[in-house]
Amino acid sequence: MRLYLEKPSSLISIWCGGTMAGVVRVSEDSVQAQHQPPSSVQVVKLPSQGQVLLKLLVHSVAMFTLPFVAYYTSKDFLEKEFGVEHPMNFIYGALCAVVMVQIIIFSYVYQAFKEEQIAQKVKAALKKE
């Protein structure tokens, strides 16, 4: 892929297969007469549809499996190591499972929020140009 700069200190869109793959910000400092690689180039990569679906699949599998793992491991650990008996080991196991669900949901929402911020920055930068 070759990029031709008409004016420094601008944003350059990178298109791949009809979809925008990212934006490169090039400053005057990074454009050199010797055609050396620029030192201050920022590449903002937008996620593809495949990456978004993979992230959804990973979080869905984690939502189904990790709470069960957290429940049974914490219940057995508390029972064997600390001698916590019925019903308290079930309650602590359930609390660990609920905490695990909350962590997975927070992770998914945080990643989606960060992607949305990147997309908004790219749109705002393209509108300025």
DSSP 69-108: HHHHHHHHHHHHHS---TTHHHHHHHHHHHHHHHHHHHHH
Instruction: Tell me the pLDDT band of 121, cut-offs 50, 70 and 90.
Output: confident
- The domain ranges of the chain are 10-45, 49-128
| CA gap 21, 100 in Å, rounded | 34
Compute φ and ψ for 23, nearest 5 degrees. Answer: -135, 140
Q: What are phi and psi for residue 37, nearest 5 degrees? A: -60, 135
Query: Could you tell me how far CA 125 lies from the centroid of its own chain?
Result: 21
The token duo for 99 is: 């905490």
Q: How confident is the model at residue 5 (pLDDT cuts 50, 70, 90)?
A: very low
The pLDDT value recorded for residue 124 is 83
Query: What distance in Å separates the CA atoms of residue 60 and residue 64, rounded to the nearest whole number?
Result: 6
Sheet architecture: strand order including 10-16: 10-16, 19-26, 42-45
> The pTM is what?
0.65
Tokens of 91: 């309650």
How large is the average pLDDT for residues 63-81?
Answer: 96
Structure confidence by residue, pLDDT tens digits, 74-99: 999 999 999 999 999 999 999 999 99
Contacts of 69 (CB under 8 A, 6+ apart): 100
